[in-house]
């Protein structure tokens, strides 16, 4: 019934969809298998994309040619650029999305991608021969052959849902769990463990009283995620979110459910994320706080369903409802779906290579929650990288690996592979040591050409980047040659409370002042304004490059220093047992993780500089 595919993707969430799109766009014949065609690209948790560090990842996905940015832009109901008051490396785009539109747009884009076939079935096993994967087995009894398989199982592998004392198998509420794959992989030498995550109740927006809540509006300007010219909604049409707070009464009611809580009663064994605690965890651990923030987030344009952000819980449903009703604005609240916790299998990611292929079985790739991450963006970018690398592998090409200095995606994958994780891994900007270089405004400059060279990003994208780079050079040149007369600019400087100038100065120098910006200069210097007739994106890019040059250069120097280690590649078959002089812990870690470069070896936790030196010495020349 099925002919052989190049790549099979098992799972159609954020990771699976990106994986299928990437491999297909590069030319692979792809089969995307999902347990339910109606739930492709579900936003299983909050109806939002991006945010701090995550927004940067979506921009990177877009720059490489992935779909998440375009889909998010198409389904945006509210846009905000977070951290605007901070340096440009912190600016982080975030959208609230219509989750049904999000899902529909994904499906539409995939259906319009040549080379992607779909099939609704559950993958129950792999076809394995000679330490190599050759395809999948399904619950309907098919054996479908492929040169590579990407597994993006999300929370579905042996998923168990907890609501109070109720416990049921499932990958999401009302959806079946997937079985078989974990057991087979363990037989083949894999190590597996459990993680936990949770989600809040969804309620009826018609039952809420918004008058007593704070309104949170979208930005006046909608920037979006995609570097392509995606259609944007009008700023005035954006939907607002609302903020309310819990109080001691809410907390007291929640506490009455603690004796039926699966978390406190030890029925949940998997570890949850510290930065996404359930409401019961918050009041338990931070007992001195008498209130916690609750975000009321609409789930779309044409639905009254509300996502109660901040109220993730696995307490019994009656307790959830009782407690919710004590939150200001929620007095008459009607619940659509209760919050719940879910436990699922993951495979500690130190079992992967940099191309996200497993070390144990060739041509098998993992992406998303199966690798211990959390978040749509984290999943999507891994899917994209796994899809690209699956295509490259079946075509006998070199893996595509991003360095920590090139992309958040590089940081994420390197962290996973070198350090592993025992809680759901989420990206933070502080994880990126070169975050001044990894900005949301320059992901296209960093990444598009590399993707284009591998046959993924389309020429149209590359042309746009080249145009931007050329514009930026021109703008910088104009800024550094335009001489500003004191009389022309001093009124503006006075207005800003910035020291006036007595001698003529270059415009590029004035921009270095913290309070001075290009927009202001253009407003007050008509001649400069005339010569700087460029698009907003290029102007912003040039301004950032000039204004923050000192910091950017400083980080580039650090990258150069580190690159010497990154370029020293440890042979695949290196025999670590001959390293008699190093510490036992380092030896064990080296043997397990098999670092690809000395740079990676130096980042493994528990490895000392002397261990790396000894390794280096033994590598010989």
Three-class DSSP category at 276: coil
How far is CA 76 from each of CA 69, 116, 182, 378, 571, rounded to the nearest angstrom? 10, 26, 36, 19, 47
Q: Tell which positions 12-71 bind another protein, by CB under 8 A.
A: 46, 51-53
Q: Which is nearer to another protein, 98 or 415 (CB)?
A: 415
Q: Does 512 bind another protein (CB under 8 A)?
A: no
Task: Report helix angle 443-453 to 459-481, nearest 10.
Answer: 140
Percentages helix, strand, coil for the chain, rounded to the nearest 5? 40, 20, 40
CA distances 191 to 156, 349, 350, Å, are 17, 10, 10
Measured from the CB atom, is 231 or 514 closer to another protein? 514
Q: Closest Cα to residue 151, out of 414, 433, 356?
A: 356
Nearest distance in Å: CB 496, another protein:
13
- Write down the least CB distance from residue 558 to another protein, Å: 8
Residue 286 in contact with another protein, rule: CB under 8 A: yes
Binding to another protein (CB under 8 A) within 550-589 occurs at 551, 554-555, 558, 560-562, 564-565, 579-582
* Among 1, 3, 38, 85, contact with another protein (rule: CB under 8 A): 85
Name which position in 289, 466, 519, 591 contacts another protein (CB under 8 A): 289
Residue 501, judged by CB atoms within 10 A of its CB (0-12, 13-18, 19+), counts as: middle
Nearer to another protein, 473 or 560 (CB): 560
Q: Which is nearer to another protein, 454 or 582 (CB)?
A: 582
Residues 6+ apart with CB under 8 A from 347: 185, 190, 191, 192, 193, 358, 366, 370, 371, 372
Among 131, 132, 167, 274, binds another protein (CB under 8 A): 274
Q: Nearest distance from residue 575's CB to another protein, in Å?
A: 12
Q: What is residue 271's three-state secondary structure?
A: strand
CB of 274 or CB of 463, closer to another protein: 274
For position 234 contacting another protein by CB under 8 A, the verdict is: no
Q: Where are the beta strands (DSSP E) in 437-557?
A: 483-484, 505-506
Q: Which CB, 82 or 235, lies closer to another protein?
A: 82
DSSP state of 175: B
Told to check if 389 binds another protein by CB under 8 A, we report no
Instruction: Using alpha carbons, select from 97, 76, 438 the residue that is nearest to residue 221.
Output: 76
Q: Which is nearer to another protein, 20 or 90 (CB)?
A: 90
As given in the structure block, the two tokens for residue 107 are 């499906």
Distance in angstroms between the alpha carbons of the first and the last residue of the chain: 53
202-204 and 335-337 beta bridge pairing: antiparallel
Least distance from C-beta 241 to another protein, angstroms?
A: 11
Structure tokens at 437: 């270089």
Q: Measured between alpha carbons, how far is 350 from 373 in angstroms, rounded to an integer? A: 13
Separation of alpha carbons 404 and 557, rounded Å: 14
**Residues 6 or more apart from 552 whose CB is under 8 A from it?**
436, 437, 545
Tokens of residue 577, six digits: 């047992």
Q: Is 206 in the site for another protein (CB under 8 A)?
A: no
Q: What are the residues whose beta carbons fall under 8 Å from the beta carbon of 45, sequence distance 6 or more?
A: 197, 199
Binding status of residue 244 toward another protein by CB under 8 A: no
Residues sharing a CB contact under 8 Å with residue 621, sequence separation 6 or more, in sequence order: none
Q: By C-beta, is 501 or 565 nearer to another protein?
A: 565
Tokens 């209130």 found at = 291
Give least dist CB 621 to another protein, A: 5
**114 is a site residue for another protein (CB under 8 A):** no
Q: How far is the CB of 464 from another protein (least distance, A)?
A: 27
617 binds another protein (CB under 8 A): yes
**Least Cβ distance, residue 82 to another protein (angstroms):** 6
Toward another protein, which CB reaches closer, 241 or 379?
A: 241
Q: Please select the residue that binds another protein; options are 129, 206, 234, 621, rule is CB under 8 A.
A: 621
Task: Say how far apart CA 341 and CA 172 lie, in whole Å.
Answer: 10
Nearest distance from C-beta of residue 581 to another protein, angstroms: 4
Q: Strands 116-120 and 30-34, how do they pair?
A: parallel
Of 210 and 286, nearer to another protein (C-beta) is 286
Minimum distance from CB of 521 to another protein (Å)? 20
Torsional sign, CA 423, 438, 367, 102: positive
**Binder among 39, 83, 184, 474 for another protein (CB under 8 A):** 83
Q: Taking CB under 8 A as the rule, does residue 382 contact another protein?
A: no
DSSP 569: B
Q: Which stretch binds another protein (CB under 8 A): 206-214, 251-259, 327-335, 426-434?
A: 426-434
The residue (of 6 and 60) whose beta carbon lies closer to another protein is 60
**CB closer to another protein out of 474 and 583:** 583
Q: Do 435 and 429 form a contact (C-beta atoms < 8 A)?
A: yes
CB of residue 592 to another protein, shortest distance in Å: 19
The single residue among 235, 276, 469, 478 that binds another protein, judged by CB under 8 A, is 276
Is 313 a binder of another protein (CB under 8 A)? no
Name the minimum Å distance from CB 497 to another protein. Answer: 12
Looking at the Cβ atoms of 379 and 411, the one nearer to another protein is: 411
Instruction: Give the separation between CA 346 and CA 355, rounded to whole angstroms.
Output: 18
Q: Do β-strands 166-169 and 160-163 pair in parallel, antiparallel, or remain unpaired?
A: antiparallel
For another protein, how many residues bind (rule: CB under 8 A)? 61
Q: How many CA atoms lie within 13 A of 43 on its CB side?
A: 27
Stretch that binds another protein, among 104-112, 126-134, 222-230, 431-439 (CB under 8 A): 431-439
Choose between 286 and 301: whose C-beta lies nearer to another protein.
286
DSSP 8-state code for residue 398: P
Considering beta carbons, is residue 181 or 604 the nearer one to another protein? 604
Judged by CB under 8 A, which of 105, 393, 435, 461 binds another protein? 435
* C-alpha atoms less than 13 angstroms from C-alpha of 39 in its C-beta half-sphere: 16
Binding site for another protein (CB under 8 A): 46, 51-53, 82-83, 85-87, 89-90, 273-277, 282, 285-286, 289, 292-293, 295, 309-310, 312, 428-431, 433, 435-436, 514, 548, 551, 554-555, 558, 560-562, 564-565, 579-582, 602-603, 608-610, 612-614, 616-618, 620-621
């Amino acid at each position: 019934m099925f002919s052989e595919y190049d790549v099979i993707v098992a799972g159609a969430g954020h990771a699976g969809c990106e994986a299928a799109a990437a491999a297909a766009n590069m030319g692979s014949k792809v089969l995307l298998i999902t347990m339910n065609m109606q739930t492709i690209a579900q936003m299983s948790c909050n109806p939002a994309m991006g945010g701090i560090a995550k927004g940067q990842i979506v921009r990177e996905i877009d720059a490489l040619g992935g779909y998440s940015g375009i889909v998010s832009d198409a389904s945006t109901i509210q846009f905000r650029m977070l951290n605007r008051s901070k340096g440009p490396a912190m600016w982080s785009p975030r959208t609230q999305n219509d989750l049904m539109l999000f899902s529909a747009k994904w499906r539409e884009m995939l259906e319009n991608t040549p080379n992607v076939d779909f099939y609704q079935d559950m993958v129950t096993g792999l076809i394995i021969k000679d330490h190599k994967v050759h395809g999948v087995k399904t619950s309907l009894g098919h054996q479908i052959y492929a040169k590579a398989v990407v597994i993006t199982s999300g929370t579905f592998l042996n998923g168990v849902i907890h609501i109070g004392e109720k416990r049921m198998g499932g990958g999401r509420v009302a959806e079946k769990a997937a079985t078989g794959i974990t057991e087979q992989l363990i037989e083949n030498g894999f190590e597996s463990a459990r993680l936990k995550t949770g989600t809040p109740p969804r309620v009826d927006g018609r039952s809420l009283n918004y008058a007593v809540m704070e309104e949170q509006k979208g930005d006046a300007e909608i920037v979006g995620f995609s570097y392509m010219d995606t259609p944007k909604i009008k700023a005035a049409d954006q939907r607002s979110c609302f903020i309310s707070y819990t109080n001691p009464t809410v907390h007291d009611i929640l506490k009455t459910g603690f004796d039926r809580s699966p978390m406190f009663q030890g029925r949940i064994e998997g570890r949850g994320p510290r930065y996404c605690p359930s409401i019961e965890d918050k009041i338990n651990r931070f007992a001195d706080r008498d209130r916690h923030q609750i975000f009321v987030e609409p789930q779309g344009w044409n639905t009254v369903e509300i996502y109660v952000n901040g109220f993730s819980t696995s307490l019994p449903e009656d307790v959830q409802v009782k407690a919710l009703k004590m939150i200001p604005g929620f007095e008459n609240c009607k619940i659509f779906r209760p919050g719940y916790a879910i436990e699922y299998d993951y495979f500690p990611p130190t079992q992967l290579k940099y191309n996200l292929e497993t070390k144990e079985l060739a041509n098998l790739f993992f992406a998303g929650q199966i690798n211990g991450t959390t978040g749509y963006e984290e999943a999507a970018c891994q899917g994209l990288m796994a899809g690209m690398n699956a295509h490259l592998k079946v075509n006998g090409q070199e893996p595509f690996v991003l360095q920590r200095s090139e992309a958040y995606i590089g940081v994420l994958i390197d962290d996973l592979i070198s350090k592993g994780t025992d809680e759901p891994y989420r990206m933070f900007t502080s994880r990126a040591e070169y975050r001044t270089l990894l900005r949301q405004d320059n992901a296209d400059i960093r990444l598009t050409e590399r993707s284009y060279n591998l046959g993924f990003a389309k020429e149209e994208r590359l042309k746009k980047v080249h145009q931007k780079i050329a514009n930026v050079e021109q703008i910088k040149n104009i800024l550094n040659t335009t001489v500003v007369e004191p009389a022309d600019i001093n009124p503006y400087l006075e207005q800003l409370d910035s020291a006036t100038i007595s001698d003529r100065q270059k415009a590029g120098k004035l921009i270095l002042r913290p309070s001075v910006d290009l927009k202001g200069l253009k407003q007050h210097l008509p001649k400069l304004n005339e010569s700087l007739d460029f698009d907003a994106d290029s102007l912003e890019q040039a301004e950032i490059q000039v204004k923050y040059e000192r910091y950017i250069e400083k980080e580039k120097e650090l990258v150069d220093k580190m690159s010497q280690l990154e370029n020293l590649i440890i042979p695949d078959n290196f025999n670590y047992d001959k390293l008699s002089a190093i510490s036992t812990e380092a030896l064990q870690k080296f043997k397990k993780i098999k670092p690809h470069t000395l740079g990676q070896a130096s980042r493994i936790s528990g490895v000392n500089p002397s261990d790396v030196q000894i390794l280096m010495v033994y590598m010989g020349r």
